[in-house]
Chain A
């Protein structure tokens, strides 16, 4: 089984596809798993618990139906095996309270999804590269 690099939790299919395109373009052979909403994410983190499957980076969309990013974030931080996983919050929101709450719950950084794909691709790939390399070094 191939090691998992990035888990992308994103309910919007287009955003998810574009993010994966951007990541794959920037990082060779990157393995990205997409979870399509909060429910699926909680399910994944609750049942998997396989250290081999531990992602090197979690990209988490803030606004999702039913179970939102903040709730998923809380849960992730409560599971021992992914407790220290770097998490980057993805959102369209520039609301101060969301950003502050996300940081309070332990995200590592925060990306406001721009309309421009180029900008989005640049940001998301540099974040991906950074965290993957940090994880490689610590191994």
Chain B
């Protein structure tokens, strides 16, 4: 029965009980061919579309909902088959086949609908190309940002390395090393320079105990003490110790240490170690020199003290007895005897003056300087009054005292200096008919420069430095009396004030002595 129906069906695929569909078009060519062509081209397209679809699906490795695509393909093929049979039906009435095809198409389309319904939620999840574009753009931007950050990081890393290098070279140049100790791990860090200070290659293994043992034995107790104080009391240190490097060289170092905290607890120490060997040794040498100098100064002091006593005493005797001789025995001596006696007497006086001047000069070096404001005009007037008692003062002396700025200095020392300078000016002008001495001042780069100008015999500028030395005299004492200490005393006074003295002079014209304090 079933078989019969099937046979019948195929028997009736093309039966002539129906008219071909062309009859409906009344064989009108336009109607007929437009329908036939429409169906054929559609059928062709409907066969080609699934072909492309299948090709696409097979080629695309990753594709969502492959089944749906296949279903679409079958659905479109079945549509194509319906159109193809429609074109055939114009001439041959395969209406059964056509019906069968349509039923197949209906089934397939219905299945497609069901399948679409099932797959819809998943299909909705598939991002659209524009969504994908947005995501893509975002992704691109993220990648760019990441690349930028990476470059920046790289630059920072390079910078950091440069900084570390710079720090290392700075530490090397400054002979400063930095170190730290972590109590929890027992690990210590030494910068390259710390190794170098210890005479080690950078990177050699280090331990706190080794570090301590590098210090000279007499410092170790102190080292342990400060480390303990840092650990227990949070005290920092800054001290100078002697370190014995790996080669046995003793080096003075300054070390500092500061406790490092975590949650209020000391967890380690960090600090610096500075090679101060050269400075320290220089300072020690200087200190020794100072002590030596103080010693020799004290010796000098006791020397001048004993000179003042011991040399003056016999001199007083020579002088005293010579004077008594002159007074009481002059008539008992002949002229030559008196001449010789006078020489003895004058020489004794002269030697006495010399000793007094040397002692005054040496006292100057030891005397403490008490700086106070000094009214220079007033002081110069006082000095001139005293100089006026001098035997060099004759009737024709003109002293000009200009307006002088006040000075900061030791009044009695400045008085002595001014006395010597003005007396000097008078002395070396004493052969002139009219003596003119000017005491004035001018400003030089904001500093007051005082001057004493005379119209005396002048000095050959060749000797401009020599005349300030002790016992330097340019003239025999027959021409001008003096011990040769006066200007040395002046220079010492000016220099003790931190000042400077110099002169301008021309032989036969006069001299000008300048000084500033």
Contacts and interface: CB of A to CB of B under 8 A. Distances in A.
A54 to B, nearest CB: 29
B312 interface: yes
A14 B320 contact: yes
Interface string B301-327: 000010011001111110111111000
A113 interface: yes
B458 interface: no
Contact of A113 (B305, B312, B322, B324): B312
A113 B349 CA distance: 13
A115 B312 contact: yes
A117 B355 CA distance: 16
A115 B315 contact: yes
Given A92-B308, A95-B305, A15 B323 contact: no
Given A92-B312, A94-B363, A120-B320, A115 B348 contact: yes
B359 A115 contact: no
Contacts of A91: 309
Interface in B341-368: 348-349, 351-353, 355-356, 359, 363
Contacts of A115: 312, 315-316, 319, 348-349, 351-353, 355-356
Nearest to A96: B367
Contacts, number: 60
Contacts of B321: 14, 18, 117
A21 interface: yes
A18 B305 contact: no
Given A18-B316, A92-B313, A118 B323 contact: yes
A18 B320 contact: yes
A14 B316 contact: yes
A91 B305 CA distance: 11
A14 B314 contact: yes
A116 interface: yes
A116 B312 contact: no
A93 B349 CA distance: 18
Contact of B316 (A63, A95, A113): A113
A93 B308 contact: yes
A117 B320 contact: yes
A40 interface: no
A71 interface: no
Contacts of B348: 115
Given A21-B324, A94-B359, A116-B352, A15 B309 contact: no
B319 A116 contact: yes
A14 B320 CA distance: 9
B357 to A, nearest CB: 12
A39 interface: no
Interface in A107-139: 113-118, 120
Q: In this complex, which of B312, B320, B352 has the most chain A Cβ atoms within 10 angstroms of its Cβ?
A: B320
Contacts of A93: 305, 308-309
Contacts of A18: 316-317, 320-321, 324
Contacts of B351: 115
A14 B308 contact: no
Given A63-B309, A93-B308, A117-B323, A14 B349 contact: no
A12 interface: yes
Contacts of B324: 18, 21, 117
A48 to B, nearest CB: 28
Contacts of A14: 313-314, 316-317, 320-321
Contact of A116 (B317, B349, B355, B363): B349
Nearest to B353: A115
Contacts of B355: 115
Contacts of A117: 316, 319-324
Nearest to B313: A12
Interface string B280-314: 00000000000000000000000001001100111
A16 B48 CA distance: 155
Contacts of B315: 115
Nearest to A22: B320
Chain B CB count within 10 A is highest, among A113, A114, A117, for: A117
Nearest to B301: A95
A4 B313 CA distance: 27
Interface in A55-96: 63, 91-95
Contacts of B353: 115
Contacts of A113: 312, 316
Contacts of B308: 92-94
Contacts of A116: 319, 323, 349, 352
B266 to A, nearest CB: 56
Interface in A21-67: 21, 63
Which are the 4 A-B pairs with shortest beta-carbon distances? A115-B352, A14-B317, A117-B320, A18-B320
21 contacts: A14-B313, A14-B314, A14-B317, A14-B320, A15-B317, A18-B316, A18-B324, A63-B309, A93-B305, A93-B308, A93-B309, A94-B308, A94-B359, A95-B305, A115-B353, A115-B356, A117-B316, A117-B319, A117-B322, A117-B324, A120-B316
Given A12-B313, A93-B308, 11 more contacts: A14-B321, A15-B313, A18-B316, A21-B320, A92-B312, A93-B305, A113-B316, A115-B351, A115-B352, A117-B322, A117-B323
